[in-house]
Amino acid sequence: MDDAEARPLDEIDLALIHALQLDARAPWTRVAAAIGVDAATVVRHWSALREEGLAWLTAWPTPERWASSTDLALVLAHPGASAEARAALVRRPWVLGVDETSAGLLLLVAASAGLPQLGERVRDLETEATVLRMDVAASVAAEDSTWRLRVLSAAQQRLLRSERPSVVEGARPPKPQAVAEIAETLDEDPRMPSATLGARLGVSEATARRAVDRATAAGLLRFGCDLAMPAAGFRRGAVLWARSADPEAAAARAARLPEVHRAVVVVGPAPLSVSVRARSLTALPAIERSWGPDVEIVDRWTVLRPIKRNGHELDAAGRSIARIPPRW
C-alpha cells in the first residue's frame, strides 16, 4: 500500500468501529441492531475496513495488568535516524509505539523483567538511534486502546451491551497463566469463536467463553478496535508535558478528556505526559483549559506522524501496513 491519502470513513464505518471499540467480540447481529443496519452490511463494511488497513481489532492489557506485570518508559530518540534504523526500531516487539514528533522520535518501551531489563532495552536502542531522554512510567491512566470515537448514542450503546453475557457475582477470574494463554491466543484474532478458542486451549467451548467473560469482567483483558485516525478526521496530534500538585489526579482527569489517547505519570520534573489527537492544533488551548487550573503545561510537542501503535506499523496516512506482535 502506498502513502496516498486514506479515504474518509462514512457514518456506518464510524459507528461500526465505535461498536467494536466497546465490544470487539459482539455478534455481528447485535452490532447491526445497535447501529441500525443489517448484518450483511456490517460484515461488508468490516471486510473493506480490514482490507484497506483502515481499522483493526486489538487485544490489549488493561491498566491493572500493566501495573502488575510491566515496566514502561517513554524514550526520546534523535530524529536523524536513517530509514533503515527507523525500520529496525519499529520491528522490535517490545517497542509498543513510535511517534515522530517535533522534538524527535518518541518511543514507548516495555519490559516484563523489571527495571534492569528496561534499562538494557533502552541501551539497545542506541544501535539504531541516539537516545536523548528516558522517562520511566510510574502509572498509566490511559493508553491508545482505551480511546473511543464517541459516535454511538447512549441508547445505541445500551442496545449493544444489553445482550452481553452476565458474570456470576463473586466468580473468580482465571489464574494469571490462563489469562496469559487466552490473551496470546486471541491476539491473532480477538473475534475468534469460543469453540475455536476452546480447542486451542484444550477446554470446552463453554469453559473458554466463561474464562473470557470472567477475565474481561475482572479487568484483566480488554478487546477493542483501532483505526487510521486521519480517515476519521483526526489529522493532528500533540504530546503535552505538565506538572501538578497531584499528578495522579491530573492524569485521571486527562484520561476522561475525549481528545486524550494516552496519559502517563512518569518519574521526572514534568511528571505528566499526555498525548492528544484533534482535528486541528487550534483546539489545544481549549483542551489544556479543560484539563484543570492546577495543571501547568511546561512543554508541547507536535506529532508529525504516528509510525507504530500497539503492534501495528502505520503508513503516512495512518493505515495499518504490518503487524508486529507485541512481546515484552
How do residues 290-314 score in pLDDT, each as one tens digit? 999 999 999 999 999 999 998 899 9
The verdict on residue 138 lying in a domain is: no
The pLDDT score that the predictor gives to residue 146 is: 86
The pLDDT score that the predictor gives to residue 9 is: 98
Q: What is the DSSP letter of 163?
A: T
In whole angstroms, what is the distance from residue 98 CA to residue 100 CA?
7
Question: Residue 249 burial by CB count (10 A; 0-12/13-18/19+): exposed, middle or buried?
Answer: middle
Q: What does the block give as the cell for 250?
A: 491530573
Q: What are phi and psi of 204, to 5 degrees?
A: -75, 165
The pLDDT score that the predictor gives to residue 294 is: 96
In whole angstroms, what is the distance from residue 304 CA to residue 54 CA?
19
The pLDDT score that the predictor gives to residue 219 is: 78
The verdict on residue 205 lying in a domain is: yes
Q: How many CB atoms lie within 10 A of CB 243?
A: 16
Dihedral sign for Cα atoms in the order 204, 210, 213, 216: negative
* Predicted model pTM: 0.91
The pLDDT score that the predictor gives to residue 272 is: 98
Question: Which segments of the chain have a pLDDT < 70?
Answer: 1-3, 61-67, 162-170
The verdict on residue 31 lying in a domain is: no
Looking at the structure of the chain, the number of domains it has is 1
Identify whether the C-beta of residue 311 lies closer than 8 Å to the C-beta of residue 326: yes
The verdict on residue 182 lying in a domain is: yes
> Which CATH number do you get for residue 189?
1.10.10
Range of the domain at 190: 174-216
130-140 confidence digits (pLDDT tens): 999 999 999 99
Closest CA to 83 of 142, 43, 128: 128
